[in-house]
Structure 1
């Protein structure tokens, strides 16, 4: 679908979510990297330099808000769009606090996932 391949990093400690997102997004030509924690987040993101990051709220160890704020405070990484995704009812407020570009509530429709990722990459 897209050439060259766009890169996405997914931070989520739910292996099922990682597997589903990985499968669906790879089918659409994305290059996916997944992590089940946000330890050493600057190093992980800098090593890949993705086009977009999907960030869970309840990600070990620091959590999604702190992890996103760390990325947004890092000069070479601050412009990478972050899609905050969580089952929290106040996800929009959490995403704003974190500094994410947008958010996606869990459980989500796979079409919505693709639409949101495409929209932030085109910004």
Structure 2
């Protein structure tokens, strides 16, 4: 498994910032802005980490998270949920998110969480 990270967010500015940051540190990224593509993209690219927004146009990211965590091929992939919603952290932990990052976020904070989650995943994957 490579160093691919799947980003699921409908805000192009957030996606661009995350992509530039991750690709600048050696990660490959796959992006979807469509909630209904989340599971198929995850199955297709076998990412090392999934970054998922809590609120996507017309969709609740918690439903997507539950779907990912209930699917055999994606349930062990670390899931980082992001949101600007004030009570989002508790809500994301309840659906199996491995970490939470509040928007707006510091790029170094994002990288620290990504490194931690991908390192932990590599240990379980070997």
Q: TM-score, normalised by structure 2?
A: 0.90
Q: 1:25 aligns with which of 4, 22, 41?
A: 22
Aligned partners of 2:68, 2:2: CA distance in 1, in Å? 22
Structure 1 residue runs without a partner (length 5+): none
CA deviations 1:3-41 (Å, max 9, x no partner) are x85110111111000011111110101001111121032
Q: Report the secondary structure of 1:80's partner residue.
A: coil
Counterpart for residue 34 of structure 2: 37
Contact 1:86 1:104 in 2 (8 A): yes
Counterpart for residue 78 of structure 1: 75
Indicate the larger mover: 86-95 or 48-57: 86-95
Bigger fraction of residues in helix? 2
Contact 1:39 1:60 in 2 (8 A): no
Q: Report the secondary structure of 1:39's partner residue.
A: helix
Aligned partners of 1:16, 1:34: CA distance in 2, in Å? 12
Over the aligned positions, Cα root-mean-square deviation in angstroms equals 1.3
Contact 1:39 1:61 in 2 (8 A): no
Structure 2 residue runs without a partner (length 5+): 121-126
Indicate the larger mover: 40-49 or 102-111: 40-49
Counterpart for residue 99 of structure 1: 96
Q: How many residues align?
A: 120
CA deviations 1:62-85 (Å, max 9, x no partner) are 321000000000011100000010
